[in-house]
Amino acid sequence: MTYTWDFAPVVANWDLLAEGLLNTLKVTGTALSCGLALGLVLALMRLSRHRLTSWPAGFVIEVFRTTPPLVQLFWFFFALPLLVGIEMTPFMAAAVTFSIQSAAFFAEVFRAGIQSVERGQWDGARAIGMTYAQAMQRIVLPQAVKRMIPAFMERAIELMKTTTLVATISYADLLFAANEISQKTFRPLETYTVVALVYFVLIFLASLLARQLELRLARSGESTVR
Amino acid sequence: MRWDFASVFDNTDALLVGAAGTLRIFAICLVLGLSLGLVVGLGRYARSRWAYVPATIFVEFFRNTPVLVQILWFYFALPILLPFSISPLAAASLGISLNSAAFSAEIYRGGIQSIDRGQWDGARAIGMSWAQAMRRIILPQALKRMTPALTNRAIEIFKMSTLASAVAYVELLQQGKLIASLNFNPIEAYTAVAVIFFVFLWPLVQFTYLLERRLRRDE
Amino acid sequence: MTLLRVEGLTKRYGATDVLRGVDLDVDHGERIAILGASGSGKSTLLRCLNFMEMPDAGTVTLDGQAIGRRESELVKLRQRIGMVFQQFNLFPHMTAIGNVMEGLRTVRRFGKAKARARAETELARVGLADKAETYPAHLSGGQKQRVAIARALAMDPELLLFDEPTSALDPELVGEVLTVIRSLAEEGRTMLLVTHELGFAYHVATRVIFLADGTIHEQGTPDEVLKRPRKERTQSFLARHKEFSL
C-alpha cells in the first residue's frame, strides 16, 4: 500500500493555521508576562522571614510544580467557574492556569538567582544605609536577573510547549486548528505533520536563541543559575 | 456552594481503574524512555558521525516539539502509513517515551562527560576496552550524579501521563472527566484527581530535593 | 566627648560565645586599632556596632542616643557610620562612580548632578578621578578598596569602621590603601580599624585594643600595648608577628 501525500488541502487552510499560531503566541505571551511578575512576588514572599508570607507562597509553588498541568487546566476550566460563579472562557482558563504554573517555576528561578548573589553585596548595600527593599531592588535583583536569563528562556520554551494543552478545552490554538483541518479535509497525516513541523521550527529557533544568549553570558564571565 | 466528596468516593472503583492505567503507562514510558535515552545519549557522546548525527537530530526534534502534538500525530496520522491501527495506549506511550528519551539522553551525556578523564586513563591502563570502561567504571560514577535529574524526569513522565487522556486512554484524569460528567460534580471530581496526583508526586519531589542536597554535599 | 558608647555587647553563634560583654567608649577624633588572633571576635565586634550582625545583648549609643532594633533606626544609624570591608563588596554592575553615587542617590535622595559632583570629589580624594567610568572587574584590588572607601566617605559618616581593609590585597597594593587611610586620620576623623598591620596601627592609632576570648583583654596607647604589653597573651600574640617593626 502506498499512500499519496497531498498537502494542498492543508495549504488551502493556511488562514486557520495562522490564526491558531497567533492564539498560541497570545496564550504564551500572556502567561509569560503574568508569570514573571507573579513569580517574582512568590519568590520574595518565600524568601521572607515571616511564616505567614513564606508558607502560603511555598504551598502555591509546591502544588503547581507537582501536579500535572492538564489537571490544573481542567480544574480551572471546569471546577473553578462553578466554585466562584463566573463564566470562564477557554482563553481565561488557559491564561490563569499557565500564569500561575509558570509563576511557580519562575519563583524558584528567582529564588535561586537571588540566593546566588554573595552575602557581601547585602553587606555593602546595608553599610551605606539601604533598606532591605532598596538593597533588593538596586543591588541584588539586577545581578540576579542576569544570571537567571538562561533558566528563564528554558522555562519560556517549556511554556510554549505546554500551551498545546489548551486545545483539549477547545481553545483555538495551533494544535486545535490542526484538529479542525484534519476533520474537515480528511487529511490528518499531512495536517499533523505540518503542525508538528511548525512547532518544531518555532521552538527550535527559540532554543537556538537561548543557547546563543547563554554562550554569550558564559563568555562575559557571568555565572548562571538553574 | 457545598463540597460533596461522597459523589467521588462512590466512584472509587472508577478511580482505581484510572490509577492502574496511569501506573501502567508511567511504567512503560519510564522503562522505554530512560533505556532508549541511554542509547541516544551514548550516540550523542560518540565520536563517530554515524552515531552522533542521528542521535542529535533525534534529540533536537523530540525536545523541540510538544508531547501532545506527538501523541496526536501517532494516534491520528501514523496509522494512515501503517497497515494496522494504533491504540491510545500505544500512541501516548510512543509520544511520551520518545520525548523522555530525548531529554534523558542529554542527562546521560552530561553525566558521562562530567567524569574526570583520569578515570578513562585508569581503566584503559589496566587493559579495559571502551565498552568495559564505560560499563564498569564510567557509568556507575555518572549514574550517581545523574540520579536527581533522572528522578526529575520520572516525575515529569508521571505528569505527562495525563496527556494520554487526549486520545481517550483510561487513566486518572480521564476517569475524573467521566465521573464529573456522570455526576455533575466537576469541582469535587477534578479536585480529587489533583489531590491524588499531589499525594503521589509530592513525596517523590521531596526525595529529589534530598538527593540534590546530598549530592551537593558529597561533591 | 563620647561619640559612641558600647555597653555589655554579647554575641553568640550557636554554642560559641563570640563576644562576652564588651564595653567601649569612642571619643570624637579617636582612632582605635583592634587587634587579636583570628576567632577572637574582632570582625564581629565591628559588625555589631552598625548592626550588620544583631548582638544578642548590650546597647549601642551614638551621640547620646540609644539605637533600637527597628529597620528604620538601623538604616539611619548606618548612614552615620561608614564601613569598609575586607572583600570590598563593590557593586559589580555599577561603575566606580556609580558605586560612590549609589548611597547618595538611593538613600540620601540627591539629584543626579549633585550626587555626581560629590562622588567626583570623593574619587579624587582617593586618587581615582580617572577611573570614574571603570567597572570594578577592571580595577586592581587596591583601586577597588579605594573606591569602597570613597563610597563610605560620600555618606559623610561621623565614624568609619575598617574591617581588615588590606587583608585581601596583594602585598604590593597594601601601601596605596594605607596611604588613603592615613590621610583620613590626619583629617581628624573618628575611626575603628581591625587590622594585622601592626606598624600601621602603631603610627596611626591613638588607642590600641587587644581582643581575646570575646572581651577586651588589654588596651592603652600604642606605646603601652605594642611596646610594653602587660598581659601574657598580648605578649605572645605580638611575638608571633615577627614582621612587626616600630
A188 contact residues in B (CB cutoff 8 A): 76-77, 80
User: What CATH number should be reported for the domain holding residue B162?
Assistant: 1.10.3720.10
pLDDT band of residue B6 (cuts 50, 70, 90) is confident
The reply to whether C246 falls in a domain is: no
| Residue A139 with chain C: CB contacts under 8 Å | 91, 102
DSSP label at C96?
H
Give B-chain residues touching A167 at CB under 8 angstroms: 68, 166
Domains (range + CATH), chain A: 8-219 (1.10.3720.10)
- B16 belongs to a structural domain: yes
Position A172: which residue type? A
User: CA of C52 to nearest chain A CA: how many angstroms apart?
Assistant: 7
Residue C223: domain span: 2-240
C-alpha cell at A52: 505567614
| Chain C residues lying within 8 Å of A221, measured CB to CB | 137
> Is residue B106 in a domain?
yes
| Residue-number span of the structural domain to which B16 is assigned | 6-218
CA pair distance B167, B72, nearest whole angstrom: 7
Within 8 A by CB and 6+ apart from C68, the residues are none
Q: Which residues of B touch A179 (CB under 8 A)?
A: 72
Q: Is C223 helix (H, G, I), strand (E, B) or coil?
A: helix
Task: Select the residue of C79, C91, C155 nearest A124 (Cβ to Cβ).
Answer: C91
Distance from CA of C225 to the nearest CA of A (A): 30
Q: Which residues of B touch A72 (CB under 8 A)?
A: 194
Q: How far apart are CA B150 and CA C214, in angstroms?
A: 49
Distance CA B134, CA A174 (A): 44
Contacts with A126 from chain C: Cβ below 8 Å: 52, 78
Nearest-neighbour CA in chain A from B132: distance (Å): 33
DSSP-derived secondary structure for B132-171:
HIIIIIIHHHHHHHHHHHHHHHHHHHHHHGGGGGGGT--S
Q: How many CB pairs under 8 A join A and B?
A: 117
Span B129-149, average pLDDT: 90
What is the C-alpha radius of gyration for chain A, rounded to an integer number of angstroms?
A: 21
User: Do residue A66 and residue B155 have CB atoms under 8 angstroms apart?
Assistant: yes
Q: In the predicted model, what is the mean pLDDT of residues B101-115? A: 94
Q: H/E/C letters for each residue in chain A? A: CCCCCCCHHHHHCHHHHHHHHHHHHHHHHHHHHHHHHHHHHHHHHHHCCCHHHHHHHHHHHHHHHHCCHHHHHHHHHHHHHHHHCCCCCHHHHHHHHHHHHHHHHHHHHHHHHHHHCCHHHHHHHHHCCCCHHHHHHHHHHHHHHHHHHHHHHHHHHHHHHHHHHHHHHCCCCHHHHHHHHHHHHCCHHHHHHHHHHHHHHHHHHHHHHHHHHHHHHHHCCCCCCC
What pLDDT is recorded for position B4? 76
Nearest CA-CA distance, residue B41 and chain A, Å = 19
pLDDT per residue of chain A (226 residues) written in tens, 0 to 9: 578 888 888 888 888 999 999 999 999 999 999 999 999 999 999 999 899 999 999 999 999 999 999 999 999 999 898 888 888 899 999 999 999 999 999 999 999 999 999 999 999 999 999 999 999 999 999 999 988 888 899 899 999 999 999 999 988 899 999 888 988 888 888 899 999 999 999 999 999 998 888 888 877 655 566 5
A123 touches chain C (CB under 8 A): yes
> Rounded distance, CA C175 to CA C193, Å?
16
Least Cα distance to C190 among C199, C181, C203 occurs for C181
Which residues does chain B have within 8 Å of residue A194's beta carbon, measured at their own beta carbons? none
pTM: 0.86
Q: Which of C102, C104, C159 to mutate: most A Cβ within 10 Å?
A: C102
Q: Is residue C96 part of a domain?
A: yes
CATH number at residue C127: 3.40.50.300
Q: Does A149 touch chain C (CB under 8 A)?
A: no
Q: In chain A, what residues touch C148 (CB-CB under 8 Å)?
A: 124
What is the number of structural domains in chain C? 1
Q: Do chains B and A touch (3 or more CB pairs under 8 A)?
A: yes
Chains B and C touch (3+ CB pairs under 8 A): no
Q: Is A79 within 8 Å of B187 when comparing Cβ atoms?
A: yes
Question: pLDDT tens digits, residue range C23-69?
Answer: 999 999 999 999 998 888 899 999 999 999 999 999 999 998 888 88
Contact with chain C for residue A120, Cβ under 8 A: yes
Q: Tens digit of pLDDT per residue, chain C (246 long)?
A: 799 999 999 999 988 899 999 999 999 999 999 999 888 889 999 999 999 999 999 999 999 888 888 888 999 999 999 999 999 999 999 999 999 999 999 999 999 999 999 999 999 999 999 999 999 999 999 999 999 999 999 999 999 999 999 999 999 999 999 999 999 999 999 999 999 888 899 999 999 999 998 999 999 999 999 989 999 999 989 888 755 554
What is the per-residue pLDDT for A33? 95
Contact present, C179 and C169 (Cβ < 8 Å):
no
pLDDT at A146: 86
The whole-angstrom separation of Cα C181 and Cα A145 is: 36
What is residue B1's predicted lDDT score, i.e. its pLDDT? 57
Residue of chain B whose alpha carbon sits nearest to that of A73: B190
Chain A residue with minimal CA distance to B78?
Answer: A189
Partners of chain B (3+ Cβ pairs below 8 A):
A
pLDDT at B68 over 60: yes
Inter-chain contacts counted by CB atoms under 8 A, chains A and C: 63
Considering only alpha carbons, which residue of chain B is nearest residue A205? B64
Is B1 among the domain residues? no
Q: Which of A164, A166, A169, A175 to mutate to test the interface with B (most CBs of B within 10 A)?
A: A164
Number of domains in chain B: 1
The C-alpha atoms of residue C163 and residue C190 are separated, in whole angstroms, by: 15
Do A79 and B193 make contact, defined as CB atoms within 8 angstroms? no
CB distance B65–A161 less than 8 Å? Answer: yes
Instruction: Give bridge partners of residue C31 from the DSSP assignment.
Output: C191
Q: Which residues contact A200 (CB under 8 A, 6 or more apart)?
A: B61, B64, B65
Residue C91 maps to a domain: yes
CB contact under 8 A, B72 and A66: no
Binary contact (A182, B76; C-beta < 8 A): yes
List CB contacts (< 8 A) between B190 and chain A: 71, 74-75, 78-79
pLDDT at B8: 80
Q: Do B72 and A179 touch (CB under 8 A)?
A: yes
Asked if residue C143 belongs to a domain, the reply is yes
